[in-house]
Chains A and B, each alone.
Chain A
Amino acid sequence: MALAAKLRSFLRNRFFSRRVDADLDHEIHSHLSLLIEENIRAGMPPDEAQRAARMELGGIEQVKEQVRDKRMGNWLHSAFFDCRYGVRQLRKNPGFTFVAVITLALGIGATTAIFRIVDAVILRPLPYNSPDRLVLVKEHIPKVTPDPIAVCAPDVLRFQRENHSFVSLAAFRGDQFDLVGGTEPQRVHVDRANANLFSLLGARPILGRVFTPDEDRPGHTVAILSHGLWQREFAGVPDVVGRSVSLNRQIFTVIGVMPATFIFPLPGMDQGDAADLFIPIAFTPDELADEGDNFDYSVVGRLHLGVALQQANADLQVIAHRIQETYPVEFRSDINLGAVALPLRDTVIGKTRTLLLLLFGAVAFVFLICCINVANLLLTRSTDRQKEMAVRLSLGASRGRLLRQLAAESMLLTFTGAALGLAFALWISNALLGLMPPDIPRIHGVGLNPAVLGFTLGLAVIVGLLFGVVPAFTSSRTNVVDSLKEAGRSTTQGPQLHRLRGALVIVEVTLAMVLLVGAGLLLRSFQRMLETQPGFRPEHVLTASLSLREPQYKDDSDIRNFYQRLLERLQSLPGVQIAGASSDLPLKAGWNHLFTPEGYQPPPGANLNLCNHSVILGPYLQAIGAPLLRGRYFTDQDTSASTHVLIISDSLARRYWPNQDPIGKRLKWGTEASKDAWLTIVGVVGDVKQSSLDVETAAHTYESFLQNPISSLNVALRTSNDPATMASALRSAVWSLDPQLAVAQVQTMHQVISESTTPRRFSLFLLGGFASLALILSAIGIYGVIAYSVVRRVHEMGIRMALGAQRPDVLRLVIGQGMLLLAIGMIIGTLGALVLTRALASFLYGVGPTDPVTFVTVVVILAGVAFLACYIPARRATRVDPMIALRYE
């Protein structure tokens, strides 16, 4: 019964609101007439009766508003009206709306874009089954390198057999094979893997099967495709299982296809890029004989339930100790073999976490600055609207109603901003993906998922409420009588609001300062890195990678023949000046070798001597432009029949033979005890940056290919014009010798350099972008506050000028006001930056986190921009005509 009445009222109020309102109006008016009548009957004169009645009633509109407020369904009604009114208000002020929405879109968009990446890379778990119990098992030889290294083949088996902590351990090793299937032979990433790898990770094939334990033994030519390769090379056809593929000219049978979500290995697992296909690990007897050598295999393990990491580590350490006992006696003391288990997640995310959290912090600063700007705009507007609020209060609106109205308006603003921001975020994060360095694990597709949407929505709601409520309080606290009395006259605004606005500007400057310093430091590091002498001349150099494999190239003479003939052909190509080849290219890392110089007495406790080592063929050093400092380059006379010779780098010569001529000195591979032959130094070349421009140059040795033929070489061509145009000539030269050989990584040396600077470029681009945004936004913020204060103080300026103040005085007054805020902000900002840039330390190169040049430059830039932001409104203040300003009264 009552429910039906309620529903009826709700519908009536909802759909016949005009009639309901008219009815209410009649009722109140009739009530008034009855009151007047009563008063007259009590003997009052008519006008007195009317006045008393109105007093008793207390305002027709107020009573009506109070009734409406109590009505059924009122909340919906008023929410709708609030929104409609809000839209109208916002459309009436397109300038304000535009600036506020764009600012919010920038802030929300940038934050969402970074969150998208953070979410995909850090927040979501690894895409394997119960990934928190997965670890990477590594060996450790502290004297050779401080970081744990991968595992050697015989040790893999011992760890697998002897551990008590793991459900299972699976080894894998990334390699690059030539795949022949499509139009051109191509190099693909192949991982040799234990059969149990898939079940250990909880991965099931979408087609076919995975390896059987039996296939862990040599002799099984079966392959599992990744989803990507299946789509790329086999057009995703389902009958691929059972087909044959040629890998390094050996026929393999496809037995399965993994799902798209299975990406393995990830960065940080030491085996390079994600595999295009998997083949059985099938250790050869040779590999299993490599005791204490070739630490090449990564081992992933799943901990038993209830086994802690420390227990597993102790377990592994015991096995490592046992393994070391089997080493030759003279070896044992030097090696000191250890083993550790590292949580898989940490090794994968590792340094990326710091970088991404840093960027997230930076974007949070930008977001705050955006919020401050919009808050300032809203504050300004709410001051302007005090009269409107006063009128509405006096017409019977309750303060709560006004608050709701203002909240609706700011919600409209933020949601429009958020929607635009989301579009902006999608666009920008796709651009970011292109810039992202390959060492950031792309674990999950950086898609638009509920987490990202929720994040954006959450931001919008929080910001909207904050914005709605804060300025709303100042507006709704309006004193009706005072505001109405002011009657549109502009006055100097209340000191409280003014101080709040000033404080917001200070915060803004502080944040911008910190961001600018951070970006400045990264920029300087980047500059320093680009200024670094790479030790070679990258102009006009084209490189490509080749790998000769059995059975086509069985012995050294096959390999030697091929490469020598290739170099001859390349050398004769028109446009090629010098053609050489090397096992490793600059900036692409390479082998590390343990060596012992003849007669060298290491200082006690010194680390073992390590150097980069390259095998080179032909005039490789001349081709990349590494200068000869002493002695000679290799010649065709350095063959297996002649003395085994070496060329060393300048820094190696200086370190081990300071102030001596190293030519004719000797060194050998391995430790003091090693029985390797002595190698004679015949030349010294300048240092070449081998791993990265921003890493200290390591000692380097070069050996002649003719004395040590190896199967994989990188060709380097010095060309007379644009090297990129030589790429196809290079490919055809290779294929004229062997049409089945893949020519991989055809790149100019400039591309090689640019690839090696990608990580820095990424962080610099982002932080630089955020800092510029912060600079512009805070300039807008300062401008807004100063310009507004000038408008509010026109009257004051008029009086000052009428009393004899000169234009420079006014200019100084206004600019001084802005500069004071700026100075406070910069002082706090400098202190903040001194503390916060320490987090950047690991990303810097060649500059300290407190680099004075950066700090001073940032102060100058910020002060300059802020000065400009104050100067423009200040000049406007000087143009005030005192007569006009005063006539406003």
Chain B
Amino acid sequence: MNLEPTSLLQGTLDLLILKSLATGEMHGLGISRRIQQITQGTFVVKAGSLFPALHRMEDEGWISSFWGDSENNRRAKYYRLTKPGRKQLEVETERWGRISWAIAQALQMP
């Protein structure tokens, strides 16, 4: 499934990015692969969605970036969570939990 930043899914993409970065700093491709992995291939985030989201979140102050070397000694831009980013992750996680619970309830109704 391709993840396009529609209005509903935009929050979802943010959440997934924040979640991926929760374990440590990562470059763009790493985040993309991480999302693929933790959603077991359900979401494939393309560069056209990923980079706008990253830069937007950086502008919001949730993540910060720096240039570093990749595993194979290539220059790459790395991202990591900031303090407000962690807070945002909590908020988003909590919100998402409520929504998915509510949707699940709704769908279980006879």
Q: B-contacting residues of A (Cβ < 8 Å)?
A: 1-2, 4-6, 8-10, 13, 23-24, 26-28, 30-31, 33-35, 37-38, 56-59, 62-63, 66-67, 69-72
Contacts and interface: CB of A to CB of B under 8 A. Distances in A.
B44 to A, nearest CB: 9
Contact of B74 (A6, A37, A69): A37
Contact of A71 (B29, B47, B59, B83): B59
A69 B74 CA distance: 28
Contacts of A6: 59-61
A802 to B, nearest CB: 49
B58 interface: yes
A28 B47 contact: yes
B72 A70 contact: no
Contacts of A38: 29
Contact of A30 (B56, B60, B76, B82): B76
Nearest to A4: B61
A387 B59 CA distance: 35
A34 B29 contact: yes
A58 B59 contact: no
A10 B55 CA distance: 12
B34 to A, nearest CB: 13
B70 A34 contact: yes
Given A31-B29, A71-B55, A5 B60 contact: yes
B52 A70 contact: yes
B84 A5 contact: yes
Nearest to A64: B51
Q: Is the interface of A mostly helix, strand, loop or mixed?
A: helix
Nearest to A20: B55
A262 to B, nearest CB: 62
A2 B60 contact: yes
A127 B86 CA distance: 67
B29 A72 contact: no
A1 B84 contact: yes
A35 B60 CA distance: 27
Interface in B50-79: 51-53, 55-56, 58-62, 70, 72, 74-77
Q: Is the interface of B mostly helix, strand, loop or mixed?
A: helix
A26 B27 CA distance: 13
A37 B46 CA distance: 17
A10 B28 CA distance: 22
B48 interface: yes
Interface string B37-48: 000000000111
A1 B74 contact: no
Contacts of B62: 2
A6 B46 CA distance: 25
Contacts of A58: 46-48
Interface of B: 27-29, 46-48, 51-53, 55-56, 58-62, 70, 72, 74-77, 82-84
Given A34-B27, A34-B74, A37-B72, A63 B51 contact: yes
A28 B48 CA distance: 10
Contacts of B53: 70
Nearest to B64: A5
21 contacts: A1-B84, A2-B60, A5-B59, A5-B82, A24-B51, A27-B76, A28-B51, A30-B76, A30-B77, A31-B51, A34-B28, A56-B47, A58-B47, A58-B48, A59-B48, A67-B51, A67-B52, A69-B52, A70-B56, A71-B59, A72-B56
Contact of A72 (B52, B59, B72, B76): B59
A63 B56 contact: no
Contacts of A69: 52
A27 B51 contact: yes
A66 B61 CA distance: 19
Given A2-B60, A31-B27, A67-B52, 19 more contacts: A1-B61, A2-B61, A2-B62, A2-B84, A6-B60, A9-B59, A9-B60, A10-B59, A23-B77, A26-B75, A27-B28, A34-B27, A34-B70, A37-B72, A37-B74, A56-B46, A58-B48, A70-B55, A70-B56
Which interface residue of B51, B58, B62, B82 has the most chain A CB atoms within 10 A?
Answer: B51
Contacts of A33: 74
A603 to B, nearest CB: 86
Given A5-B61, A70-B56, A35 B48 contact: no
A30 B48 contact: no
A13 B60 CA distance: 13
Contacts of A62: 48
Contacts of A10: 59
Nearest to B28: A31
B74 to A, nearest CB: 6
B48 A66 contact: yes
Contact of A31 (B47, B56, B84): B47
| Most chain B CB neighbours (cut-off 10 Å) among A8, A13, A66 | A66
Contacts of A59: 48
A8 B64 CA distance: 12
A24 B47 CA distance: 12
Contact of B52 (A4, A13, A57, A66): A66
A71 B54 CA distance: 10
Nearest to B82: A5
A8 B65 CA distance: 14
Nearest to B52: A70
Contacts of B46: 56-58
B82 to A, nearest CB: 8
A72 B62 CA distance: 14
B100 to A, nearest CB: 26
A63 B82 CA distance: 25
A28 B29 CA distance: 10
B55 A34 contact: no
Contacts of A2: 60-62, 84
B76 A66 contact: no
B73 to A, nearest CB: 11
Contacts of A9: 58-61
Nearest to A1: B84
Given A2-B60, A2-B84, A31-B47, A67 B28 contact: no
Contacts of A27: 28, 51, 76-77
Given A2-B61, A6-B61, A35 B29 contact: yes
